[in-house]
Amino acid sequence: MNNNFNLTYIPKRPDKPRESGTTMMMDKGLSLRQIEDLIESSGDFFDIAKFGFGTAFVTKDLEEKIKLYQSAGIRPYFGGTLFELFIARNKFDDYRKLIDKFGLDLCEVSDGSIIIPHEQKLVYISKLAKDRTV
């Protein structure tokens, strides 16, 4: 991986797919064209794309965006706010089906917008961690 400056003592990052040193970027509503440009300009530098703040709920062309990230070796996932939207409506199983529908192998469990008792949060994490990274 190249950088634009002659700086010394910068450790070499492993090539993708990386097991360590992974970098996440947040998609706060990028268009397909913006994602294409981002991947072209700096896709080698990040490994994970998070659809933050529940943006997946209103994102146009969500399936195409996910496929675009995946085709570039970038693992997309839905942020915790979307998880909380499902939990607040007692729709945990529907959330799992949604993740499976889009072929996502990462997910986030959070309680930033709603109160989830710690023990219940651990149950959600345990169930989701059986077949994906939480």
The domain that holds 89 is classified in CATH as: 3.20.20.70
The distance between the two most distant Cα atoms of the chain, rounded to a whole number of Å, is: 53
DSSP lists the bridge partners of residue 76 as 49
> Residue 43: which domain range?
24-128
Q: Is residue 46 part of a domain?
A: yes
Q: List, for residues 66-122, the tens digit of each pLDDT value.
A: 999 999 999 999 999 999 999 999 999 999 999 999 999 999 999 999 999 999 999
Q: Is residue 4 part of a domain?
A: no
Q: At what angle do helices 80-88 and 92-101 cross, to 10 degrees?
A: 140
DSSP lists the bridge partners of residue 24 as 48
Which phi and psi angles does 15 have, rounded to 5°? -70, 160
| pLDDT for residue 1 is more than 60 | no
Provide the number of structural domains found in the chain. 1
Quick check: pTM over 0.85? yes
Q: Is residue 9 part of a domain?
A: no
pLDDT of residue 4: 80
Beta-carbon contacts of 13 under 8 Å, excluding residues fewer than 6 positions away, are: 1, 21
